[in-house]
Amino acid sequence: MSVGENIRRLRLSAKLTQQELADKLNVTRSTVTQWERGWSMPRMSKLRSISEVFDVPYSEVVAESADKSGYANNASHRSTVALVSLGTLSQQAFSKQDATPITIEMDSSRTIEVPPRVLARHANALALLAEDNCMDRVAPMGMAMVFDPSLAPKNGQVAVLSMPDHGTIVRRFYKGKDTLMLVADSHGNYDDILVKLDAPMVVHGTVVWVQTPQELG
């Protein structure tokens, strides 16, 4: 099981809601949700707090993560991925009219730190910053979202797409028989985007990890 799955298992065994666990750890409920879904990783101090809340060994919280990524053996180790901008993605997406694969030019000096387990599963991952509040239930403005360009989004997942009328956007992805609905996940009011499946667009990938405010500290 992953760290997120371990947290969920321990929480359910203790008959705690996500909000009750969040209160005990002094974090938001959405942070617990992101941990359990594998979108972000608790910092080492929070992992130890989780083990104390559930009165289990630290190793039980991080078990299996050590097997796949070495996280438990070297929790202080971090890796980086390149940080790209929405504007860069839009420019690259529609700069070519043929089927030539898109090449995203990146500034190697702009990177974001992510847990090693993310790169263990998504070696070609890139990151971008949330530039508005349209997805603030997932990633508040200014937080980083790591996406995998090789991973096609499934219904309900968060996708990074470019379209001529909308530029590059991040939305929840819902594919119907003939249409595609792109839905904001926000505390505010944002209109859904509904387009035909054959409309011109480029899907850049699927979000696989989201930085929480605690990751900045």
Full DSSP string of 127-149: EEE--SSTTTTTS-TT-EEEEET
Position 47 scores a pLDDT of 82
Give tens-digit pLDDT for 39-91: 777 877 788 889 889 988 776 787 654 333 333 333 334 478 888 888 777 77
Q: Could you tell me which CATH class the domain 3-69 is placed in?
A: mainly alpha
Radius of gyration in angstroms for the set of CA atoms belonging to the chain, rounded to a whole number: 18
Q: Which residue is listed with tokens 């028989």?
A: 177
Domain over 79-216 is classified CATH 3.40.50.1860? no
pTM: 0.60
Distances (CA, A) of 30 to 7, 47, 194: 14, 16, 27
